[in-house]
Amino acid sequence: MNIHSKLSDYGFNTLSVHAGAAPDPTTGARATPIYQTTSYVFDDTDHAASLFGLQSFGNIYTRIGNPTQAVLEERVAALEGGTAALAVASGHAAQMLTFQALMMPGDEFIAARQLYGGSVNQFGQAFKSFGWNVKWADARDPESFRRQLSSKTKAIFIESIANPGGIVIDIESIGAVAKEAGVPFIVDNTLATPYLIRPVEWGADIIIHSLTKFLGGHGNSIGGVIVDAGSFDWSRTKKYPMLSEPCPSYHGIKMHETFGDMAFAITCRVLGLRDLGPAISPFNAFLLLTGIETLPLRMQKHCENAKAVAQHLSRHAKVSWVSYANLPNDPCYGLAQTYCPKGAGAVFTFGVRGGYEAGVKLVNNVKLLSHLANVGDTRSLIIHPASTTHRQLSDEQKSAAGAGPEVVRVSIGIEDVSDIIADLDQALAA
């Protein structure tokens, strides 16, 4: 079944299995092969020259692209409703390449404070060495993004469902601020996945995922992806020279003029990935691609289990609060009904009575849940962010990011929900 030409005719479940893939033309293999090769033979010198000059598409070197990777990219782009995608070595690599295509030294971007701790650190610390400066806004207050705008602003960045707090963000309102400012709107859709939220439908220009999490879903491989929505006019100003101005690497071609609504994904590949090198391995691309085939089934179960666990914990004597957007009394409940009516994801936080020490004791006493720094696994996972993922932040930054001393984060898996609840109960009792 080759559905390359009619992706729009198929539903989400079908695309999760088939988008981008076809039987291998040489062997007839139904599963996408792992093309474990570094390079590719050219037809002749003219063919090689056309590839290196971006006059035709094809394979040159696996640092830049690989056939297994290409299927993964087409599938994620189809699920997100984008025009093209680029898969890379990790979610952090996806963020780095995205901003490398947009930013010059001295430029600024605005990011929500409510982010994964690693992103807070990358934006606030590592990016300084490139001269890229972040200004922080409150994801719960769209107008706070407007207040941070300046002539140096190059982008606005949020997570659709924030990690670790699990809060659902008003994507459309923040996207409107970006559109009025004439800057691209970047949405990390890792926790929601396109099964729950498609940011393109709410104004996003660029979507980022840590493929490591729910898209891959099995905790066995690292990867990231950049999805180009094809919606931003890169030629409207000279603010984004890598996309709008003549490119010295390719004899003066203008990326947006030449590649249109795929220009951002291609620029990230042929300039960022080519030169900075965070390539995804073909084997990891294969594992992630296989994981996506069961994405709809897993996300449905993840959300069902997470809601039941959140409801149980909200009634627990040793729990002071639960932040899960599918609970009717949650501040994000209305946003969840608007943006993700099929479920609010599987990651949420709760506060343990007793603060920091109680949180540490809880994670030390679980038996079924795994204490580790990941989310989006088939297994249920637990962590105390203040002592681990957000440890490098100040107390003020921890609280702003939803990782205060009493906070415990869980990523609810697809086990029998009664077993998950029983394990949390015994650990809280201990």
Mind listing the pLDDT tens digit for each residue in 402-418? Answer: 778 899 999 999 999 99
> Comparing 10-292 with 295-429, is the CATH topology the same?
no
The whole-model pTM stands at: 0.95
Least confident interval from 5-9, 248-252, 267-271: 5-9
Per DSSP, helices labelled H in 156-227 are 171-181, 193-196
Mind listing the pLDDT tens digit for each residue in 178-222? Answer: 999 999 999 999 999 999 999 999 999 999 999 999 999 999 999
| 322 has a pLDDT exceeding 90 | yes
- Cα–Cα nearest to 217, from 167, 166, 289, 282: 289
- The set of residues, in sequence order, having a beta carbon less than 8 Å from that of 32 and lying 6+ positions away, is 21, 24, 68, 71, 286, 289
SS3 string, 57-83, reads CCCCECCCCCHHHHHHHHHHHHHHCCC
Radius of gyration from C-alpha coordinates of the chain: 22
Average pLDDT over residues 103-114: 97
What per-residue confidence (pLDDT) applies to 393? 73
What per-residue confidence (pLDDT) applies to 6? 65
The domain 295-429 is placed in CATH, from the list 3.40.190.290, 3.40.980.10, 3.90.1150.10, 3.40.640.10, at 3.90.1150.10
| 3 has a pLDDT exceeding 50 | no
**In which band, very low, low, confident or very high, does the pLDDT at 1 lie, cut at 50, 70 and 90?**
very low
Give the domain 10-292 fold: Aspartate Aminotransferase; domain 2 (3.40.640)
| 332 has a pLDDT exceeding 90 | yes
**In which band, very low, low, confident or very high, does the pLDDT at 385 lie, cut at 50, 70 and 90?**
confident
Average pLDDT over residues 303-308: 98
- Angle, alpha carbons 369-117-175 (nearest 5°): 115
Report the distance separating Cα 428 and Cα 430, nearest Å. Answer: 5
| 267 has a pLDDT exceeding 60 | yes
**In which band, very low, low, confident or very high, does the pLDDT at 164 lie, cut at 50, 70 and 90?**
confident
What per-residue confidence (pLDDT) applies to 314? 97
Mean pLDDT of the chain: 95
Mind listing the pLDDT tens digit for each residue in 26-81? Answer: 899 999 999 999 999 999 999 999 999 999 999 999 999 999 999 999 999 999 99
Domain borders along the chain are: 10-292, 295-429
What per-residue confidence (pLDDT) applies to 67? 97
